[in-house]
Amino acid sequence: MQETIKPPMGTDAPLIEGKQNYETITEKIGGIVLKSPPKIWYPLFALGFAGTMVMVFTICWLLLRGIGIWGVNQPVGWGFDIINFVWWIGIGHAGTLISAILLLLRQQWRTSINRFSEAMTIFAVMCAGMFPLLHTGRPWLDYWLFPLPNWLAMWPQFRSPLLWDVFAVSTYFTVSLLFWYTGLIPDFASLRDRAKGKIAQLICGTLSLGWRGSAKHWMRYESAYLLLAGLSTPLVLSVHSVVSLDFATSIVPGWHVTVFPPYFVAGAIYAGFAMVITLAVPFRMIYPQLKDYITNHHMDMMAKVMLATGLIVFYGYMMEAFYSFYSANQFETYMIENRFWGPYSGTYWALMICNGLIPQLLWFPRFRHNLFWLYGVSMVVNVGMWLERFVIISVSLHREYKPSGWGFYAGTQWDWSMFIGTIFFFVMMMFLFARFMPMIAIFEMRDLWHRLYHGKSGHNGHAPAHVPNSAEVTSKEDA
């Protein structure tokens, strides 16, 4: 049999590579779960688990000693806790955007990356939720944030943007979890039917909720999946807009601006796609069978989205400086001058280089089509987006209206151990997900293969040499 010729990476690259049929798709993707993991999985998981234990120890010490172990103080009352909260929430946005918005826009290239990006959303929101809950100082009383009947007749302060975060993030997490699990149901049924061990059959059978693949099941599934996609789409815009209102509704110079909601949303998508690329490249190396499904075309499309949102973010940086000088307000003007030339100026200019200048390399196919450079740019963006949150929060707070209220902020060892611990927790959860759940939607990939190759395959069921790209598939469906 003649081998499939892989076209060069770019917009003409295929959505599925190699010789495929329904059986090989199910075997390659489902086999990752049903077979033993590669040897490298064990040390990577152990590393994530060890870092998670550091995070657990830090939380225990925090509960014992109080938030005084952090570097927060007057005038910087918000430090790493809120910085990391906003950073993790932003990372979680790409999963919902890829799954929901691209589904509604009928973008076929989402199929290969939506499953693990949805998992990334769940775990990123879990990391984000830890920080504001611990920041209250008495996390055992955090249930007071919800309007529960109580004998003290206490009710939450609904005018506080911090309370809006509670409802926005909890709603986002709930809908994202339902959306993720709903998409997993047919795949759990496929694993149930292929599993050889009774324990695996029992677990997968329970999680599949009695799925048999009947027409009634598919009708109800598609209705529920589309409904959840419709609910998730406004959440992408609302959640980070609400997070931005934590700052925009204040009177702190540099925060009290109307550009924050769209600016934060674009930054969240920017950071989210950078993290998707950061995860996709190593997963392709650890599990080589995924290269047929997470192709170079997917990397190219994600790089373009990251470039587009990066330009929006960079435009926001320029507008921040313009608004400050155009306002003729001495406090606003001093705020931006302090960012330029103050004690944190190195952090600000590093932010501009990471988020503004280096991503411009993605204009050139030479860098966008090289996985080494693409991975490097995505890592730089991850660092730059964290620096952005640091500049917005800590640098804006460290100097009050009067010099007598000026201070300096730096994270302590406990700030860093908590932050790095959440990163390891995120890594550990992603490897657990890769071990026990399909990283790519099996049934969606089979459906995509059918759309691409229906009426084109020969007697052996293999794909032809030319594979239509996403633009061709969309145009055929529209016709």
The answer to the question of residue 470 being in a domain is no
Residue 191, CA atoms < 13 Å, CB-side half-sphere: 34
**Domain encompassing residue 378:** 22-446
| Backbone phi and psi for residue 11, each to the nearest 5 degrees, phi listed first | -70, -20
pLDDT at 467: 43
The answer to the question of residue 199 being in a domain is yes
Distance CA 323, CA 332 (A): 8
- Give, for all 479 residues of the chain, the pLDDT tens digit: 333 334 444 445 578 887 778 888 888 888 888 888 899 999 999 999 999 999 999 999 999 998 889 988 888 888 899 999 999 998 888 778 788 888 888 888 888 888 888 899 999 999 999 998 898 888 888 888 888 887 777 888 888 888 888 888 899 999 999 999 998 999 999 899 888 888 988 998 999 988 888 899 999 998 998 898 888 888 888 888 888 888 888 888 888 888 888 888 889 889 989 999 999 999 999 998 888 888 888 899 999 999 999 999 999 999 888 888 888 888 889 989 989 998 999 999 999 999 999 999 999 999 988 999 999 999 999 999 999 999 999 988 888 888 888 888 888 999 999 999 999 999 999 999 999 999 988 888 888 888 876 655 443 444 444 444 444 444 444 44
Place of tokens 């099996």: 442
- The SS3 assignment for 238 reads helix
Evaluate whether 213 touches 255 at the Cβ level (below 8 Å): no
The answer to the question of residue 1 being in a domain is no
Distance CA 2, CA 176 (A): 43
The answer to the question of residue 98 being in a domain is yes
Buried b (16+ CB within 10 A) or exposed e, 315-330: ebbeebeebbeeeeee
Give the length of the chain: 479
Q: What total of structural domains would you count in the chain?
A: 1
Dig out the tokens for 166 from the structure: 């509670």
CATH number of the domain enclosing 296 = 1.20.1630.10
The answer to the question of residue 213 being in a domain is yes
Helix then strand then coil, % of the chain, to nearest 5: 75, 0, 25
Alpha carbon 13 to chain centroid, angstroms: 25
The answer to the question of residue 455 being in a domain is no
pLDDT at 404: 80
**Structural element, H or E, at residue 415:** helix 413-436
The answer to the question of residue 14 being in a domain is no
Torsion of CA 40, 45, 50, 51, to 10 degrees: 110
Evaluate whether 128 touches 88 at the Cβ level (below 8 Å): yes
The answer to the question of residue 456 being in a domain is no
